[in-house]
Amino acid sequence: MALTNEKPVLPSVINTSSEHDQTHIHKQSWASKNRRSLWASLALFLLLRYLVLPNVLPNSTESENHALSAHHGSSCAQADAIYPQSFDASSVVEGEKDQIIDWLSGAVKVPTEIFDVMGEIGEDKRWDVFYEFSEYLEKAYPLIHEHLTRTRVMTHALVFEWQGSDPSLKPLLLTGHQDVVPVLPATRDQWSHAPYGGEYDGKYIWGRGSMDDKSGVIGFLSAIELLLKSGEFEPTRTVILALGIDEETGGKVGALNLGIWIEEKYGKDSIAMLVDEGNAVAEVWGQLFATPAVGEKGYMDLELRVETLGGHSSVPPPHTGIGYISLLVAALEQHPHEPYLNPESPLVNFMSCGADNGPTFPKDLVKAVRKVERSLQAKSHKVDKKALKELEDWWVTGGEEDGTFPIKGLGKAMVSTTQAVDIINGGLKVNALPEDVVAVVNHRISIASSVAELQHHLVNVIAPVASKLNLAVEAFGKEVNYADCHSEFQAGPKAGKVILSVAYNSSLDPAPVSPFTASDPAWKLLSGTVKSVYATRPGFNATEEEAKKEIFMAPSISTGNTDTKRYWNLTKNIYRFAYLIADKGDIEGAHTINEHVSADGIVELVRWFANLIVNVDESREL
């Protein structure tokens, strides 16, 4: 499946090192202007943050909801805890807290900033900082570099392979990105700790990338280094590590070519399971939930262009090109995409988990959830539309009313295709009519929709308005026949032309949804490892109340895109998740000032990765 319209040149291989350090350098073919803005990245993080960390007001009593959660037809069946059988994987982190802190601190000190516009590797010196980061990894993780094979892809993207003894078993793929968003110079004096100081204050590790995403990269590297140090584990299933270099600008250099390299070597559908950065663990509806993103929304930037004749502004037409595009933009904003909650959406299952296990889950919604579940389980498969609409309405407005979504529009964004007019350019001189005016509209496509459906909607909105304005229309490479637009047709010369096209080569359909039921082997392993690590957490039996606490798995989605969009061909089992029991203070600095992460949280993340690696290695279901 083609991920975008990009056509990268396939790799040519230059082998200039030992078998443990092969170098693959790809010719670069990518549009430098195809970049997400820093502020768009910040908005994405905030969306993810408030999906994972809702603050739900109680609407029912605990006893009432527990009684309702006894429903046997729930779609939120939970997997049992899974513990490694060969040895105690958690033991590898015992006494290693200081070392783990040092590893992350050192990684943060290397400012691997990536910018919206980057030149080619080898020409743009800003890429060279990744040499420093790979050198740091060599010094920090000597056992990894001794026992794993390292391959350079596009010079700076890295693949590590820990060869298993049984080649018939599909490998486990763990991914993350080395790059971080830049620190704005104007904000440096607002940081309580140096942005690239990697300081540890006894509780938190501070600095850009400490959360996003050097925590993930250092998490799995540390787990493997400690497994190697223990000498008690040798994999039967190969483990692959893929470290991107430009996730914060779309992964067009790093992850794109990493995906190509892995597919060329291992083949399509060759990976047992993939784990990348994503949602964390948090309290929702009065209960602790792990909420891996099992899908991501799609993406498309629309370029809306109006071409008209120029001339002197002293004799203007009724509308200049700016006037025309303003009317067209207004039409888009007057016709937003309608929310739609697909009954098969992970968000419905997410609400089933809340109804089952959330003491403060709204009582009226529990009834709607049960009706949807019963209708889905019925042989007729006819969904209770009224009940489903109640769930949809909660995402659109209910979550804001009860305090779940502090950011206005967040819930609606989860069940809709969103559009945001972010750029508009036109005109050079105050006394000259603009001949070419362009607006760029960002779309995040609902998981129930597609690029094709979005483009159809855009034509249906724009073409009738353009027709009334006597403008010709070209949409996505084809002339639009006004007879199909159900609007007034004006014969004769046109006042100008409207051109709709995909900006920045950016179209991407929503990600395939990964399996998320207790019977699915990959989800069962992910869930079982979460449950076993939580059950053996430090101090878990300190009090009777603490011992009774549980953690539940609930699938969710991501409103934005991670590097996983480059790996769809490799496996259907893609999970965007980090075992971080986060609170508001832990993640509120990502992509902004005072980014930090809990040191205890990072130790637990390393422990989780170690257990996951061994659990997946021992499984024969994948």
- Positions at the binding site for Zn(2+): 177, 212, 248, 276, 591
Q: For residue 520, indicate whether it is catalytic.
A: no
Binding-site positions = 177, 212, 248, 276, 591
- Cα–Cα distance measured from residue 60 to residue 69, given in angstroms and rounded to the nearest whole number: 13
- Report the candidate in 550, 554, 529, 592 with the shortest Cα–Cα distance to residue 52: 554
Catalytic residue among 116, 161, 179, 595: 179
- How distant is the alpha carbon of residue 149 from its chain centre? 28
SS3 331: helix
- Cα–Cα distance measured from residue 92 to residue 95, given in angstroms and rounded to the nearest whole number: 8
Pairing of strands 496-502, 298-308: antiparallel
Q: Quick one: which H or E segment has residue 21?
A: strand 21-25
385 CB neighbour count, 10 Å cutoff:
12
Q: Which residues contact 469 (CB under 8 A, 6 or more apart)?
A: 319, 324, 327, 495
Residue 566 tokens, joined: 């480059």
State the Cα angle at 600 between 590 and 563, rounded to 5°.
40
- Report the candidate in 590, 475, 613 with the shortest Cα–Cα distance to residue 38: 590
Catalytic residue among 247, 277, 586, 604: 247
Cα–Cα distance list, 452 to 304, 485, 504 (Å): 17, 18, 17
Across 317-327, b (16+ Cβ under 10 Å) vs e yields eebbbbbbbbb
Q: For residue 96, indicate whether it is catalytic.
A: no
- Report the candidate in 230, 207, 201 with the shortest Cα–Cα distance to residue 113: 207
| Cβ(440)–Cβ(423) below 8 Å | yes
SS3 260: helix
| Cβ(288)–Cβ(281) below 8 Å | yes
The partner residues of 436 in beta bridges, in order of sequence, read 307
State the amino acid at position 148 in one-letter form: L
| Cβ(363)–Cβ(58) below 8 Å | no
168 CB neighbour count, 10 Å cutoff:
7
| Cβ(23)–Cβ(16) below 8 Å | yes
SS3 2: coil
Residues labelled as active-site residues: 179, 247
